[in-house]
Amino acid sequence: MRRFPEPIQNCVAAFARLPGVGPKTALRFVYYLLKLPKADLAVMSRTIVALGERIVPCTTCFTYGEADTCDICADPKRDRGLICVVEESRDIATMESTRAYNGVYHVLGGTLNPIEGMTPEALRVRELVGRVSANPDVREVILALSPTIQGETTMMYLSKQLAPFNRTVTRLARGLPIGASLEYADEITLGDAFKGRRSA
């Protein structure tokens, strides 16, 4: 492979650390940046530096914000009796876009996957159990994890960990999406659609 000047190599290496970005894509990004005016590069670099300097994890729910307590946890209108557990901070934006939920969140930091080192100790399970046990006002914990093998395993594990506290533990309903054909539905999704049926 051609040897590039050190600044290019360093930038390629930095981009290649992003998820889903290989060396070729990283090199394409760098060459795109080299075509930009220096003022645009300066703006981009300042925004990345500001990300590291100004954004911190919330000490309660572990999402990202500009203060130790995020906007959602600080909002007195939120229902603190409901905790929605999500895998990553970005999932909160998806949940909020529905405008169907007014509780608080807990960012787990992933799902159980021992092969990749994602054990209960690597996730924020202890912090979730601590929140539930310390707050008698919590009446329901909603497990909003992806319906993958790892997500299912994590939800079963969390249900067992939270069982001693006698709180309601629920999970998001699953079923057929609008416009889907029964022909292409897997057995698990179709089974869940039957279990979650309601009057027409």
For residue 165, the 8-state DSSP code is G
Q: Which helix (H) or strand (E) holds 10?
A: helix 6-16
pLDDT (tens digit, 9 = 90+) per residue, 144-168?
Answer: 998 889 999 999 999 999 999 999 9
Angle between helices 23-35 and 6-16 (to 10 degrees): 120
153 touches 116 (CB < 8 A): no
pLDDT (tens digit, 9 = 90+) per residue, 87-138?
Answer: 999 999 999 998 899 999 999 999 999 888 899 999 999 999 999 999 999 9
Name the CA radius of gyration of the chain, rounded.
21
31 touches 23 (CB < 8 A): no
Q: Can you tell me which residue has the tokens 């209108």? A: 77
Domains of the chain: 6-54 (1.10.8.420), 70-171 (3.40.1360.10)
Q: Which helix (H) or strand (E) holds 84?
A: strand 79-86
pTM of the model: 0.83
